[in-house]
Amino acid sequence: MSDDSTLAAMANTTPACDAPADVELPGGTIVADRWTIVRFLARGGMGEVYEAHDRLLDGPVALKTLRRGMAHDRFVREIQLARKVSHPNVCRIHDAGRHGDLSFLTMELLAGESLAERLRRGPLPIAEARVILADLAAALDAAHAAGVIHRDFKPHNVMLVRRAGATRAVVTDFGIARPADDTGDAALTADGELVGTPAYMAPEQVSGKPITAVSDVYSFGVVAYELVTGTLPFAGQNPRELATARLTETPRPPRDLVKDLDPRWDAAIVAALAVDPAARPASASAVLALTDAPPPPTPVSTDRARVVLLSAAAAGVLLAALVLGLLLTGRLGWPTPVAHIDAATTAETQRTPPLTYNMAQAYRRKGDLHQALHHFRRFVVLASDPDSAAIRADAQHYIWQLEAALAADGGVAP
């Protein structure tokens, strides 16, 4: 696993603390006859990170080394996978090479702070969280489109880069990423070490099952939960306990912690944290889209429901007058409304939008709200021609009114 502080320090352009005495590349070292080491930034699980100057292109870069003794092919895989993903919200990989027996890569040097550092100051306002999550969703969508699954998506692997008064969120560290068609063990190394960060891992990743793009969607949901609430959806005394909690426990809804949270945000985050991968939104962008979904209808009191029905009756009179006027002027060739309901007429409504509408009105006048709602809904589906737009809109209003009335009376719509 990558060290949390490595990524934060990698992006820092403020003076770092003095380098340890045992750094592999002291300041001033020229690496592969091209990069001059400016200063040590941090040491992580895979190696060390430095600020360096590219003598050929005359610009700053971050130079990341591979710790001696680690498999070189894993380092090469990080480079190959990261280079497949080209997006403004994904950290760019520039070059790779060897300096003596030391493997290294160079990447974009990001000036800012990690999302983990920002979260130490508390949860984010929804407006700020949405901007960041939109960037992260775009980055994950780009990776998945390129056939790459990140597998360690978390705030520590996100840099917040400020430029010209705006903040850009950048996803980094594809060190344990895998191609989407990889069939190897999803969660463990050959030594039985858990790969990934337990607090953000999807249930299938924890249990060693195959992972897919929606495994990253789960991690995206955990990050969204943390941005909104300032805490994680699960707790544990150690990494494995933390990882397995999501297999046996249900996360506390974010709205329990943030009372004024929009119900749509609550529902979107809970959907992303579904244990069953098939039950999650298909992408990170789809999770974010749920936060913009139309709000559910507000239940109304019984008294208001009666007012709604009276208003619906008045609207029905006006609509009937409109239809009659259209018929008399020859602009609408619909049959007159039915006066009674029988089996033959019901069968006919399955084929004719006008009769379907008339059936809905007849049931409404009889007080059979379920059948009226059913036929109004069917009319909206059947009447797709442009000339029916106005009446289709009125039918939709009836649908809303009937749904509200049934909800107020404890009824269940068909």
Residues designated as active site: 152
Residue 122 Ramachandran class (φ > 0 left, ψ -120 to 50 alpha, else beta): left
Distance CA 333, CA 346 (A): 20
* Residue 273 DSSP one-character state: T
Largest CA distance in the chain: 96
Q: State residue 5 phi and psi, 5-degree precision.
A: -70, -25
Distance of CA 413 to the CA centre of its chain: 31
Two structure tokens written together for 83: 């280079």
Q: Which positions ≥6 away from 226 have C-beta within 8 Å?
A: 119, 123, 155, 232
- Residue for token pair 């609207």: 315
Q: Which positions ≥6 away from 340 have C-beta within 8 Å?
A: 362
- Residue for token pair 């962008």: 285
Would you mind telling me the total number of residues written for the chain in this entry? 414
Q: Where does 85-125 have alpha helices with state H? A: 115-119
Distance CA 324, CA 87 (A): 59
Distance CA 278, CA 12 (A): 39
Cβ proximity of 136 and 226 under 8 Å: no
Cβ proximity of 217 and 284 under 8 Å: yes
